[in-house]
Amino acid sequence: MERVFNFNPGPAVLPLEALKEAQAEFLNYKNTGMSILEISHRSKEAEAMLQETKNTIKELWGIPDNYKILFLQGGASSQFFMVPMNLAGEKTVDYVITGTWSEKALEEANILKKKTNVVYTSKETNYDRVPKPSELQFSKDAAYVHITTNNTIFGTQWHYLPETNGIPLVMDMSSDALSYPIDFKNIGLIYAGAQKNLGPAGVTLVIIREDLLARVPKELPTMLKYTTHEKNDSLYNTPPVFAIYMVGLVAKWLKNIGGIKKIKEINEEKAKIIYDAIDNSNGFYKGHAQKDSRSLMNITFTLANKDLEGKFDKEATAIGLVGLKGHRSVGGMRASIYNAMPIEGCQKLAEFMNDFAKKNK
Ligand SMILES: *Cc1c(COP(=O)(O)O)cnc(C)c1O
């Protein structure tokens, strides 16, 4: 069977090159006579793989030396509580609410009875945008400012990083990590569940600025302290070796195609193809996100005639364009076009959209 173009929001498309490389060494990893699934996480092969994965990510994204890279479990959802538990202390914590995932992050901080402050929300307009810089006023002595850089469900994305004037910025980058260069100036912590843009489910990438480790309260359970994982280089307990290995192969693929600047250009080109199909459809398709907040990763749109949405999905699937059904909070369609989605997938989708509009108007 031929492979399809997979527009699922996550778990999501992975680079064919990375899958093939994993397949080629699946039964016998680096002459151990064992699969990577079977080797000890303390073997020299596994440790070397882990270091190499970290190094590739660090090099790709230009992560400064004073940041630690951790591979944790429990998904991005566990970072919703680990962040406030470890970093908030008694101070106010600022949250910018741009969708379901930031709501959930805020909720965990509230469960922990932290002093939360909602700096901004676009809930009234069903999260169709992210704030402009002028709409943001942070608490003076906030412990951190939390933002969701790409709103996977609503299809919006920040196209700048807010100036927090030294307050550590905590960013949920689950659906756009490693897709554009960033300036680490104000960044305190980045987290990302791997299964959107980095690899398979099972591992969460955490990048934390060293000085923030001093805030971690001693009384937290061992597994919930960033310091535990930092001290033990993500090997305090058994890490998800296979998932980390796949993240490493994806990172290597990114490096081979030209790195983060290059992937940003490619992503811009890819997204434009689909947004053009929306904008040139004379109202047949309507984008959910306001134009200056449009995501390069998740493109959300509805059909003017809602009754056609089922048909759209069915016919797209029949020609190998799968996973386009939108999330229930927006309705309509969502095309997730992460780093690994080839440009051909976007071209084929745009062609299909044009044809479908012509036939059904
Ligand atoms: C998917 C997603 C999450 C949740 O990730 P899990 O790893 O499933 O916990 C959190 N934030 C964003 C932005 C997401 O897209």
Pick the CATH number of 16-256 from 3.40.640.10, 3.40.50.1820, 3.40.718.10, 3.40.50.2000: 3.40.640.10
Share of the chain above pLDDT 90, in %: 99
- Under DSSP, the state recorded for 345 is H
Output the average pLDDT for the chain: 97
Q: What's the pLDDT at 106?
A: 98
Residue 41 class from Cβ within 10 Å (0-12 exposed, 13-18 middle, 19+ buried)?
Answer: middle
For ligand 1, the distance from its centroid to the CA atom of residue 56, given in whole angstroms, is: 23
Active-site positions read 101, 172, 196
Indicate which residue's Cα is closest to atom 2 of ligand 1. 174
Taking the centre of ligand 1 as the mean of its atom positions, its distance from the CA of residue 131, in whole angstroms, is: 21
Residue 1 has pLDDT above 90, yes or no: no
Residue 361: which pLDDT band, with cuts at 50, 70 and 90? confident
Give me the pLDDT at residue 249, please: 98
Asked whether 149 lines ligand 1 (CB < 6 A), one says: no
- Which atom belonging to ligand 1 lies closest to the Cα atom of 10? 1
Nearest CA to ligand 1 atom 5: 76
Q: What is the DSSP letter of 303?
A: E
Residue-wise pLDDT for 87-133, tens only, equals 999 999 999 999 999 999 999 999 999 999 999 999 999 999 999 99
Distance 98 CA to ligand 1 centre (A): 14
Q: Kindly report whether the global pTM for this prediction surpasses the value 0.85.
A: yes
Hey, which of 174, 175, 191 would you mutate to test ligand 1's pocket, going by the most ligand atoms within 8 Å of its Cβ? 174
Q: What is the pLDDT of residue 331?
A: 92
Alpha-carbon distance of 160 to 156, in angstroms, equals: 12
Task: Return the closest-CA partner of residue 14 out of 336, 319, 274.
Answer: 336
Q: Ligand 1: distance of its center to the CA of 104 in Å? A: 10
Check pocket membership of 157 for ligand 1, CB cut-off 6 A: no
Distance, CA 305 to ligand 1 centroid (Å)? 31
Does pLDDT of 31 surpass 90?
A: yes
For residue 173, give the ligand 1 atom closest to its CA.
13
Four-residue CA torsion sign, 338, 344, 348, 353: positive
Digit-coded pLDDT (tens) for 71-99: 999 999 999 999 999 999 999 999 999 99
Q: What percentage of the chain carries pLDDT values higher than 70?
A: 100
Question: Best mutation site among 152, 189, 247 for ligand 1, i.e. most ligand atoms within 8 A of its Cβ?
Answer: 152
Whether pLDDT at 9 is above 80: yes
Q: What is the DSSP letter of 294?
A: B
Domain boundaries, the chain: 16-256, 259-359
**What count of other Cβ atoms lies within 10 Å of the Cβ of residue 169?**
24
Domain 259-359, CATH 3.90.1150.10 — does that match?
Answer: yes
Cα dihedral sign, 79-85-91-97: positive
What is the tens place of the pLDDT at every residue in 172-228? Answer: 999 999 999 999 999 999 999 999 999 999 999 999 999 999 999 999 999 999 999
Task: Write the DSSP symbol of residue 23.
Answer: H
The torsion defined by the Cα of 310, 313, 319 and 322, in degrees rounded to 10, comes to: -150
**Ligand 1 touching residue 193 (CB < 6 A):** yes
The C-alpha atoms of residue 34 and residue 31 are separated, in whole angstroms, by: 8
What integer is the mean pLDDT of 53-74?
98
Condensed to tens digits (0 to 9), the pLDDT of residues 218-274 reads 999 999 999 999 999 999 999 999 999 999 999 999 999 999 999 999 999 999 999
Instruction: Report CA(358)–ligand 1 centroid distance (Å).
Output: 36
Contact call for residues 141 and 166 (beta carbons, < 8 A): no
174 lines ligand 1 (CB under 6 A): yes
Q: Which residue has the tokens 């490619």?
A: 266
- The reply to whether ligand 1 has any atom less than 6 angstroms from the CB of 148 is yes
